[in-house]
A = this chain, B = another copy of it.
Amino acid sequence: MTPTLPLSAPATRTVALVRPIAHPRPIRLRLPKLAPPPSRGAQPTDRQVDQIRAFNRFYTARAGLLDAGHLGSAFSLAQVRVLFEVAYGSGTTASDLGDRLHLSRGYLSRLLRDFTKKGLVSHARTIPDGRFKALHLTTLGRETLETLERAAKEGMRDMLAAVAPTGRAAVVDALTTVRAALRPRLMQRPLIRLRSPRPGDLGWVVERHGAIYAAEYGYDARFEGLVAQIVADFAKGQYGSRERCWVAEVDGARAGSVFVTRASARTAQLRLLLVEPWARGLKLGHRLVSVCTEFARAQHYREIILWTQAELEKARHLYEGAGYRLTASKRHAMFGKPAVAETWTLTL
């Protein structure tokens, strides 16, 4: 499951060299000046760490405390967290709760006792194993939590309301992405969805192709431009429902993309298959390729092709596993370094 690169014409594009002729300033052919990508080794850079810490100082004080809704209520932060966890994972046990909230067994026990006394929580020794006590919120408990939640939501709503309305989506998207990316591996199965593009998604595809291929393979600005061209052509909608794009979401955050375009009346082309580095290993690439094959079949294409680069090892495996076969290859140096472009074909 790797991003892969079904891109435009493998034929070497001739770049017109413009020589200074009659202009006040000599014109050099120069790619739009793209500052070099900040190099990234195996370890996060100091700058990255500093940026994250700046965010933490700024954000956690503001949102972290505000978010519980305990301010102004009769409950402490810890109490609210417990109440919330009981509600969320109804039927959990005390020790499970302690693990999740990092509270000592003793303290937690006392908190729960108080809640029981106040009639917010009920616990019954119903589970096969008699040592456990399954925790549940009573109706009163749910109502109480409801109130707290309302306050918390209000706080967050106010925070977000301070941002210009059309800027809010950017904030929410960003946080969702962070959450998905930092999600601990193997913790719980993430929710994966394929959906149609929304405004901004086409640009996102360009951005991520540009950033990821620059970082991983050292491709230069021309590559990002090429992706923009492909996306622009797609957006023209020239071939109506015979072309299509999907965006893959992991836990609500954009994590991948793929396009099917019309190469000819009988040939479909899979393009711009991408999987975010942080979302690899979830079989996203596999699902994206599959949906393309299905679509191409449903649209009565006779075959589906794709262009990729030989160096994209994982992508090649993916295509091979999906039934594609290598049908052509050609050297080129389109993106700033020698490479081999390949054509793969799947007969439908």
Residues of A at the B interface (CB closer than 8 Å) are 16, 18, 23-25, 27-38, 40-44, 46, 48-65, 67, 101-102, 152-153, 156-157, 159-179, 181-185, 195-216, 219, 221-222, 224-229, 231-232, 234-245, 252, 265, 276-280, 299-300
Question: Chain B contacts of A65 at CB under 8 A?
Answer: 102
What are some 26 contacts across the A-B interface (CB < 8 A)? A23-B300, A25-B242, A25-B299, A31-B237, A32-B244, A42-B165, A48-B168, A48-B169, A49-B156, A50-B153, A51-B176, A52-B172, A53-B156, A56-B64, A59-B175, A162-B182, A166-B277, A170-B278, A171-B181, A199-B211, A199-B215, A200-B211, A202-B224, A206-B231, A225-B237, A228-B232
Q: A35-B198, A178-B55, A182-B159 are in contact. Are A168 and B226 (CB under 8 A)?
A: no
Question: Chain B contacts of A61 at CB under 8 A?
Answer: 64, 101-102
Question: Chain B contacts of A221 at CB under 8 A?
Answer: 197, 199, 202, 235, 237
Q: Looking across the interface, which residue of chain B has its beta carbon closest to that of A40? A: B165
Question: Chain B contacts of A173 at CB under 8 A?
Answer: 174
Task: Tell me the bound Cα distance from A174 to B182 in angstroms.
Answer: 12
Instruction: Work out how many copies of this chain go into the complex.
Output: 2
**Most chain B beta carbons < 10 A, residue from A162, A252, A299:** A162
Establish whether residues A199 and B203, one from each chain, have CB atoms under 8 Å apart when the complex forms. Answer: no
Question: Chain B contacts of A300 at CB under 8 A?
Answer: 23-25
Establish whether residues A28 and B241, one from each chain, have CB atoms under 8 Å apart when the complex forms. Answer: yes
Question: Chain B contacts of A30 at CB under 8 A?
Answer: 237, 240-241
Question: Chain B contacts of A200 at CB under 8 A?
Answer: 207-208, 210-211, 214, 224
Task: Tell me the bound Cα distance from A245 to B34 in angstroms.
Answer: 9
Q: How far is the CB of A255 from chain B (nearest CB, A)?
A: 10
Partner of A240, one of B27, B62, B166, B235: B27
Question: Chain B contacts of A244 at CB under 8 A?
Answer: 32-33
Establish whether residues B51 and A57, one from each chain, have CB atoms under 8 Å apart when the complex forms. Answer: no
Establish whether residues A169 and B41, one from each chain, have CB atoms under 8 Å apart when the complex forms. Answer: no
Partner of A18, one of B46, B49, B240: B240
Q: Looking across the interface, which residue of chain B has its beta carbon closest to that of A213? A: B199
Establish whether residues B231 and A196, one from each chain, have CB atoms under 8 Å apart when the complex forms. Answer: no
Q: How far is the CB of A6 from chain B (nearest CB, A)?
A: 17
Question: Chain B contacts of A41 at CB under 8 A?
Answer: 165
Establish whether residues B204 and A207, one from each chain, have CB atoms under 8 Å apart when the complex forms. Answer: yes
Q: A55-B178, A211-B170 are in contact. Are A164 and B35 (CB under 8 A)?
A: no
Partner of A207, one of B33, B56, B207, B215: B207
Establish whether residues B32 and A237, one from each chain, have CB atoms under 8 Å apart when the complex forms. Answer: yes
Q: How far is the CB of A67 from chain B (nearest CB, A)?
A: 4
Partner of A171, one of B153, B178, B237, B265: B178
Partner of A212, one of B44, B166, B207: B166
